[in-house]
Structure 1
Amino acid sequence: MSTILAVEGVTAGYGDATVLFDVSCTVAAGEIVAVVGANGAGKTTLLSTIAGLVPARAGRIAFRGEDITGRPAHWRPAHGLALVAEGGRLFPFMSVEENLLLGAYAPRGRAVLKERLEEVMAVFPILRERREQAAGKLSGGERQMVAIARALMCRPDLLMLDEPSVGLSPLMVGRVFEIVERLARREGLTVVLVEQNVTEALTVADRAYVLDHGHIVRGGPAAALRGEREIQEAYMGL
C-alpha cells in the first residue's frame, strides 16, 4: 500500500514547553493506525500538529507525497485531511443537520452536498431521525457520531480521531469502533486513531505506535503489540 501520510522527525509544543521530540511515523492508504499512550504522552499534540493547529518546530509532514508542514489548518480539510477533536466540539444550539452542513464548507464537500449528506446519514441512521434536534440535546454517543459525520462531509482521504470513546458507555464505545472499522474496511477511508482505550484501539487497528513522553517508543502490527506482556501491563490493565 502507498504511504498517504508521513511524519518525519517532528518536534512541536506550546510556548516554552516541547511536547513532541523527533517523532516519525507513517500511515498507508486504507489503514487504521492507532496511536496509544498514557495521559500527557503527546497524542493530541501529534494530531494537532498534523492538522496544522500546532506548528511543527522541526521536521516535516507529507500528505500524499506533498510537504504540508507550513500549510494553514483550514487548507487541510479542503484537501482531504480531517480531524475530529476530543469531545467533538459541536455547536450545541445548532441542529444536527446544521452542524453537518458546516463540515462541507470546502469545495470538495460543497460540490456534492446533498449526496454527501445522504451518504453520511446512511452510515449514521440515527442522525436522520435527529436531524432537526439541537446537537446539545443529544446523548454523548450521538454527539460523537455527529462529530465524525461532520468530518466526513468534506469527503476526506484521511480521518484523524482524537479519543472518540471518551465519556461514552461501553455499548456506545463498541458502536463507535464498529463504525470506524466499517469506514476503513468497506469504504476505503484511512484512519489515524488516538485512543486511551488501548484494548479496543489495538483490536480495530492494522498497525500502532506507542507514544511515551513525546517519543515514539514502539511501533508495529497492532495484533503483535496487543500480545506483548509489556504493553498489556502498561496500558491494558492485564
Structure 2
Amino acid sequence: MSNVQHQYLDALGITRWVIRAPAVNPIIETSALIEPAVETKAGGAALMHSAAARGLNKTSAPQKKPALVSRDLSAFDWTALRENIAQCGLCDLSNSRKQTVFGVGNQQADWLVVGEAPGPDEDAQGEPFVNRINGQLLDAMLLAIGLPRAQVYMTNSLKCKPPNNRDAKADEAACCKPYLLQQINLLQPKIILAIGRIPAQQLLQTDTPLERLRGQVHTLSEFGIPVIATYHPDHLLRKPIAKRKAWDDLKLALSVYKQAQ
C-alpha cells in the first residue's frame, strides 16, 4: 500500500488495510496474496477523477415532474439508458431529488461495484460514492486488492436519494432494478461487489440479512455473474470491528475474479 493511502487512512483514524496470511474461506480458499494491480478489459477508458468525466456523469435536475418511462430497456445503450433514468418518474423519489445518480467509471470494467442509494453529496454531484469520508474508505478498500477507481464501474441500486437518508422502500427498489440490470447487461462484468444490505438483497432477490449473505459466493440469476456481498463503508466507520470481515470478503472477491479469468 502506498504512502498516500497510509496518509489519508491515518487522517481518518481508520486502521490500515494490511495484507496478512490468508485465511481459509468457507466457500473458496484465498490461497493467493494480493497482487499490485488487476487488469481490465483492453481499451477501457478511465472516466474518474477529471472534471470532464464528472460533467459527463451528471444528470440535470428535471424542471417538471418527469413522465413515466419505458420498462423495456433491453435495446438501450449507455446514452439512452442515462437519458431514460434522468426522466424517470416511476416513484415519488423523483419529486424530491436534485438529480438522478446514474453511475461512473470504466464502461468496459471487469468489476462492478453496486452501492445502496445516493446520499446528499451524491444527489448534489450526480455521482456515486463522492462523500469525502466513505468514498475515501471505499477507495482504500479497492486499492487494497489492487483496484483504483479507474478500473471499476460504480453505481447504486437506487438512482435517486431517499428523503432524510432513509432506506429504500420495496416499491422504489423495484422501480430501479430494471435500470441496474440493464447497466449490468451493458457492462457484462466478471464480478459484482454488492456494498451494503440493500444492493445485496435486491440483486439476489432475498430478504436474508447481510451478515448471512457475506462471506460466500452468490450468482446473479439473470446473467450468471458471481456476486460478493460486503459491508458499506458507513457501517465500517460505525463499527470498525467489521473491517476484518470486509477484508475477508474482498480477498474472496479477488480469488473468484482470478478464477474467472
Would the TM-score normalized by the shorter structure come out above 0.5? Answer: no
Higher strand share: 1
Higher helix share: 2
**What TM-score do you get using the length of structure 2 for normalisation?**
0.34
Q: Which has the higher contact order (CA 8 A, sep 6+)?
A: 1
